[in-house]
Amino acid sequence: MKRAAFGLLALGGAGAGALLAVVVAGPVPAGVFQTASTTTTTTTTTKTTTTTSSEPARIPAGVRIGGVRVGGLPPEAAASVVRTAFAAPLVLRVGRRTLQPSPALLGATASVQAAVERARRAAPGPAVRLPVRVSGQRVRAYAAKVARRFDRNPVDARLFLRRLRPFITRGAPGRRLDQTATIRAIVAALVANRRFPIALAARSVAPAVTRADFGAVVVVRRRSNRLYLYDGMRLSRTFGVATGAARYPTPLGRFRIVVKWKHPWWYPPDSDWAEGKKPIPPGPGNPLGTRWMGLSAAGVGIHGTPDAASIGYSVSHGCIRMQIPEAEYLFTRVSVGTAVFIVNA
């Protein structure tokens, strides 16, 4: 009976899902049972997952791209800042005028994204170059356009007769833009991404004729038979002369001396009053005296005369007669090209 009861107990324990186990330590006295309980503990571990949102990488502190500060900015913001700075127009000064061409007008483009990528990998503080491409053809065309707009031709001094006196304008220098220097300055500013004002180089072009170039000026007053010698606009000396008779008047107008002869021959002109006359060699009887200053008016000149009594009268055949010493003096003060005004005063 005792063995049977033990067996049932054991089977019952097994059927209970092994919650209890029988431990036999040795012979078991009648009516005594030893049991050991085994407690099974289930530990549940809860895994907590933490999600961290990472900010986009920023340009290292102190970095510049093409002179533009981008340190500490996200790449997208850095690219936007650099593009805005590069798109700013250049400031060009020609004299007192200012021009502001855009980089796009000059055919310039910048590789901003490539520069930003380099800036992301740069150490703090350095300057990163901004790659720039410039169209040489567009820059040359722009420089030529500026030259056409601002180049100025010099103005030569000019001689007029004002109130019977010579007046010479001052003239004015011209200006030529240095197109080669302009092209270099524009390209350098674009490549370096600089937008400081640029004074374009221009050279002054002197006029070909100035007041000092005129020298002597002669004014002959036909009616009063006076010759005035000027040094530019300053009166130097006055002479009595003889001018053409009413039948052979001395022509009025502006002329110039085209030839100077010492001890000239006299040749009869193609005129009725000289018909049948022969040439006269230099000497005391020569009607031209010792000096001849031929004018651009055909057959007319300023010369000496052995007939001093004719001075002060209108008795010549169109020429302007002077006393021989005075003609010699005038001869040394004028040159080929000297202006001669003959007026009816």
Catalytic residue annotation: 303, 319
Residues 212 and 281: beta-carbon distance below 8 Å:
no
Strands across the sheet with 97-99, in order? 97-99, 92-94, 198-199
Show the tokens assigned to 93. 């000064």
Show the tokens assigned to 157. 């001094």
d(C-alpha 303, C-alpha 239), whole Å: 13
Of 215, 237, 271, 257, nearest in space to 342 by CA: 257
Strand-pair partners of 64: 69, 127
d(C-alpha 98, C-alpha 102), whole Å: 13
Give, for 82, the enclosing helix (H) or strand (E): helix 75-87
Q: Is 217 left (phi over 0), alpha (psi -120 to 50) or beta?
A: beta
Residues 59 and 120: beta-carbon distance below 8 Å:
yes
Show the tokens assigned to 221. 């007053």
62 DSSP 8-state letter: T
Q: Give the 3-state secondary structure of residue 266.
A: strand
Q: Give the 3-state secondary structure of residue 305.
A: strand
